[in-house]
Amino acid sequence: MGLLIDGEWHDRWYDTGSTGGEFKREDSGFRDRITADGSSGFTAEAGRYHLYVSLACPWAHRTLIIRALKGLEAAIPVSVVEPFMGSDGWAFADAENPSAGATGDPVHGARFLREIYVAAKPDYTGRVTVPVLWDRQRDTMVNNESAEIIRMFNSAFDGLPGVRTDLDFYPDSLRSEIDSVNERVYATVNNGVYKAGFATTQDAYEKAFDALFGSLDWLDRRLARQRYIAGNRITEADWRLFTTLVRFDPVYHGHFKCNLRRLVDYPDLWGYVRELYQVSGVAGTVNLEHIKRHYYESHRTVNPTGIVPKGPALDLEAPHGRERLRAA
């Protein structure tokens, strides 16, 4: 786990000493947009952009889901880093001993993801994270903020052949509700599990823990009365939440000490996760081997032995029972 400082790599864990033991996530550094008409300088075109992801990362996972559901897999090729993140940060497939599902980098021939960042900005300072959306034509990074990438995937490419224009995960009528839900879920659930897991003081951990389970309780009550998190149709709010929830029992419950309750102890949340998993195209984006190996093997400050637990047994294909609630 490291970062770039003026383009030079440093193997350095997060600094919680200056924050009272709290984990603070940095803002993403590349924030350009792809638009249908190219008014942003980046025109939506098939084959022009390349997506870099980790199958373990919940933030990158969002982009893979929207890419699959919108029918963008042929238009936007993808490279997948190895699940283990060592002293060199995210790495592409080891030519001699690659992990199943990991790939090389056909754009730059890079060994490490940090090389992509330096290619875009030689003096870059910041964490090297996934996802990354690269523009082959302008030879630069467009964006590394997952929340913005999924919105580009949702609508900017709708003019391309084969794209699912009937699916809109950020509809005008629900935008206010989606934004409101996203704000709480991001702060207390998506990022909340990291705030608990990477905390280095008891107070910081307990603060994050309490906020996390307060929100999980709220979400379970909400899902008892409506099919999806922002209403009665699937929106980006559901996919942003799903990628954290599907990792909860395998990783966050034990590895990050988020152990007040398991996800399977929430009847409506657990059924909701199974329903989303069973949406056509989604199961293929979920790789529990990469997920478990990344967290347990990579975070040696949290799990010094690097031992990956065998459990838990999760039946994501079991009937979800959500049909009792009306869907749009």
Read off the tokens for 124: 């870059």
Residue 204: pLDDT over 70: yes
Confidence of residue 328 (pLDDT cuts 50, 70, 90): low
**HEC per residue, the chain:** CCEEECCEEECCCCCCCCCCCCCCCCCCCCECCCECCCCCCCECCCCCEEEEECCCCHHHHHHHHHHHHCCCCCCCCEEECCCCCECCECECCCCCCCCCCCCCCCCCCCCECHHHHHHHCCCCCEECCCCEEEECCCCEEEECCHHHHHHHHHHCCCCCCCCCCCCCCCCHHHHHHHHHHHHHHHHHHHCHHHHHHCCCCHHHHHHHHHHHHHHHHHHHHHHHHCCECCECCCCHHHHHHHHHHCCHHHHHHHHCCCCCCCHHHCHHHHHHHHHHHCCCCCHHHCCHHHHHHHHHHHCCCCCCCCCCCCCCCCCCCCCCCHHHCCCC
Tell me what pLDDT residue 47 has: 98
Under 8 Å between Cβ of 85 and 99: no
Q: Which residues participate in catalysis according to the annotation?
A: 57, 194
Residue 227: pLDDT over 80: yes
Tell me what pLDDT residue 121 has: 98
The per-residue pLDDT for range 92-126, each reduced to its tens digit, is 998 888 899 999 999 999 999 999 999 999 999 99
Q: What is the mean pLDDT of the chain?
A: 97
Tell me what pLDDT residue 150 has: 98
